[in-house]
């Protein structure tokens, strides 16, 4: 029975992963900012697992290292050292860069990048001491292609790919597996809020497509982790972009500008 800690575990992909990990017999700690959502998540998971004793919740802002450290301490007191850490907490506030204030931009970078670094920093010492463990970093398909209106989000998620690669090189000798994944649009409460803010430029760039379910994304992630993959991709388009984006970028940008209104192209 492993201790799996998930940030952003009260909803979305993190919650779906928690459900699968509990079904496998693991102890699961959920860390998120909203205490009421955490309580609701624990209640719902306990109904499925029929064992609330294997679920622990702790409230923290991943961008606040002191707050997160307290949460880690509480979770480790409940279930022992963290053996699998899943950095799933993230936020997105789409808006054109010229129209977005610095606080909104900086907050996305703080949660999506610094929050992941804080999470991994707290989990690594015990893993290195045990000479084993697993780090899963949930980035985004937006890490693979720059989207207008998503400058902070794309930048912070793209940085996670390099961060994960460095971690993998640094910790492989200690038996620690580092995996990153790049989900597409996924049906979560966050996506519903995001769509209301998505600029027309982003809609034009992204086009029409059906989002994945959180359960399907979570199953793909755990399958990839079981197979020992260092990166997990979703669907043909994102898989191709993961390896060929520098080559395809001019074509993607050409297609975007061709779809833009004539006035926008002329400007």
180 bridge partner residues: 137, 231
pLDDT of residue 263: 47
- Outline where 131-234 has alpha helix (H): 151-171, 189-197, 200-206, 214-226
pLDDT, the chain, mean? 90
Give the tokens for residue 254. Answer: 């050409």
Say which range, 36-40, 226-230, 247-251, has the weakest mean pLDDT.
247-251
> How far apart are the C-alpha atoms of 21 and 26, rounded to whole Å?
6
Token pair 């790049």 is found at: 182
Q: Which domains, ranges and CATH numbers included, belong to the chain? A: 3-266 (3.40.50.720)
Give the tokens for residue 66. Answer: 């002191």
pLDDT of residue 160: 97
pLDDT of residue 244: 65
How much is the average pLDDT of 211-216? 94
């Amino acid at each position: 029975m492993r201790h799996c800690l998930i940030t952003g575990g009260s909803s979305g992909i993190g919650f779906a992963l928690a459900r699968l990990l509990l079904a496998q017999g693991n102890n699961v700690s959920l860390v998120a900012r909203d205490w009421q959502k955490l309580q609701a998540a624990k209640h719902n998971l306990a109904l499925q697992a029929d064992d609330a004793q294997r679920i622990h919740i702790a409230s923290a802002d991943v961008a606040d290292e002191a707050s997160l450290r307290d949460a880690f301490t509480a979770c480790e007191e409940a279930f022992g050292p963290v053996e699998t850490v899943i950095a799933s907490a993230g936020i997105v506030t789409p808006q054109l860069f010229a129209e977005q204030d610095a606080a909104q931009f900086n907050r996305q970078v703080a949660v999506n990048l610094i929050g992941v670094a804080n999470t991994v920093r707290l989990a690594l010492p015990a893993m290195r001491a045990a000479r084993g463990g697993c780090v899963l970093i949930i980035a985004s398909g937006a890490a693979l292609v720059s989207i207008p209106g998503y400058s902070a989000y794309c930048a912070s998620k793209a940085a996670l790919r390099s961060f994960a690669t460095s971690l993998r090189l640094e910790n492989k000798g200690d038996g620690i597996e580092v995996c990153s994944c790049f989900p597409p649009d996924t049906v979560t409460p966050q996506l519903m809020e995001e769509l209301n803010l998505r600029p027309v430029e982003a809609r034009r760039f992204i086009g029409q497509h059906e989002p994945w379910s959180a359960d399907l994304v979570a199953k793909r992630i755990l399958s990839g982790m079981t197979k020992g993959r260092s990166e997990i991709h979703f669907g043909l388009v994102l898989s191709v972009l993961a390896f060929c984006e520098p080559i395809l970028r001019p074509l993607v940008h050409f297609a975007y500008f061709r779809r833009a209104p004539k006035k926008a192209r002329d400007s």
